[in-house]
Each structure stands twice: as structure tokens, then as C-alpha cells.
Amino acid sequence: EPEVTQTPSHQVTQMGQEVILRCVPISNHLYFYWYRQILGQKVEFLVSFYNNEISEKSEIFDDQFSVERPDGSNFTLKIRSTKLEDSAMYFCASRPMNTEAFFGQGTRLTVV
Amino acid sequence: GQNIDQPTEMTATEGAIVQINCTYQTSGFNGLFWYQQHAGEAPTFLSYNVLDGLEEKGRFSSFLSRSKGYSYLLLKELQMKDSASYLCALASISTDKLIFGTGTRLQVFP
């Protein structure tokens, strides 16, 4: 069964460094998302991406964040100048038209 | 904005039936989703309602009443592996992004 894959599964980075989280959505899906879940808290929407551009972003998704679809398969989230409070689980999700979103297994980011 | 409320925790016994409620205040949405999330894992899709009424999928059913701003997830014949968080989420009209509630942590006891 097709699945959304994310790498790495764990990432430890020093405060102030840049990280790139990678996702390979399911191949025929049209909509791509990044979500974040701080430990013990709810899943929060960050950004949606459709037709090679950002379609919506939350107030969390400020200039520190950016997304790219550099080729036909990858979808990346870049976090610049990481802060301690960026430590969280980051989930990528994708979906075709009018059905549920499928989530990747997540990248656990720890900023030290 | 959208407010989505769920009970924080629930407990139930193996073999029993449990109903997890979700209430919301929003100006509009495409559909209401239920996801299951085990600790440290990704949310996995359970059920989806667009129209009012009951959707049944095996041991899981979900109900929606748009006029009452209310949904529930019904889990039958509970198993130990059903111990997890259950997330209610609304799909926005514009981009179908999911807005999640805080989730209900269900513990199933023998």
C-alpha cells in the first residue's frame, strides 16, 4: 500500500542551526501539508501546498519556515535559526481530491 | 476561528462500547474526520462525515449533526489495542487543511 515517507525519523540540532525535513508524498496526490505536534499537545496545521505553491499557512508558519517541492517527488520543510520551542514532531501529509489525508510517520526534532 | 472540544481522557473495559464526543464552533467546513493516534506515531484515518448521519466502518462508526455542532465516534467490541488518542478534525472549505481538536486519550482495561 502506498505511504507517505519522512526522513529522518529523528533529528537533533543545536539552537540557531537550520534543518531540512524531508517528505515523499504518495505519488498521485495533489495536496501536501506540514503539521507540527509539540509533546503532549494537539496536532497543529503549519502549511498547505497545491499546484507548486503555498495555498495556505498558519500564523506559526512565519519567515523562519519555508517549503519546497524541488522535484516531482520530494516535499521539504526548512526551519532556519531553530529555537528550543521548535522541538516537536513534524508530520507531512498528502491527499488526492476529496478524501482523507494520509500522514507520514513524522520527524522528531529536538533542538538543544 | 474554529473551536473544537473533546474530553481529555476516557476509560473503558475490553469488549465494551465507548462513545467519544466532539463539539465545535465554526463558520463552515467541508467534512469532519476522526483519526487514531498511538503515542509517538502518526495519526491514522478512521472515519469521515460530510453529511449529517451515521457512517459505519466495521467496529468504528461516526456521527455528525451540523445543526448541533456535534459529532461522535463510536467504538464497539473494544480491544486493548484501541488504547490510543482519538482526534476529531474539521476540513476547511478553502484548502481542506485539517484543524484538530486536542484529542481524547482512551485507555482500555481488561
Q: What pLDDT does residue A109 have? A: 98
The helix or strand, by DSSP H or E, that contains position B23, with its residue range, turns out to be strand B18-25
| Residue numbers in B near A1 (CB within 8 A) | none
Q: What pLDDT does residue B106 have? A: 98
Q: What pLDDT does residue B27 have? A: 75
Query: Which of B33, B43, B96 lies at the smallest CB-CB distance from A31?
Result: B96
Region for B93 from its dihedrals, namely left if φ exceeds 0, alpha if ψ lies in -120 to 50, beta otherwise: alpha
Q: What pLDDT does residue B1 have? A: 61
Q: For residues A1 and B85, which has the higher predicted lDDT (pLDDT)? A: B85
Cis amide bond preceding A8, omega within 30: yes
Q: What are phi and psi of A30, to 5 degrees?
A: -110, -25
Q: Rg of the Cα trace of chain A?
A: 13
Cell numbers linked to B53: 448521519
Q: What pLDDT does residue B93 have? A: 81
% pLDDT > 70, chain A: 100
% pLDDT > 90, chain A: 86
Average pLDDT over residues A80-106: 94
Query: Which of A45, A100, A105 lies at the smallest CB-CB distance from B97?
Result: A45
Average pLDDT over residues A31-59: 94
pLDDT in tens, B32-74: 999 999 999 999 999 999 999 999 989 999 999 999 999 999 9
Whether the predicted pLDDT of A63 surpasses 80 = yes
How many C-beta atoms surround the C-beta of residue A27 within 10 A?
Answer: 9
Contact B100 A100 (CB under 8 A): no
% pLDDT > 70, chain B: 99
Model confidence band, residue A81 (pLDDT cutoffs 50, 70, 90):
very high
Q: For residues B27 and A52, which has the higher predicted lDDT (pLDDT)? A: A52
Residues 17-76 of B with CB under 8 A from A: 33, 37, 40-45, 48
Residue B103 Cα, gap to closest chain A Cα (Å): 7
Contact B95 A42 (CB under 8 A): no
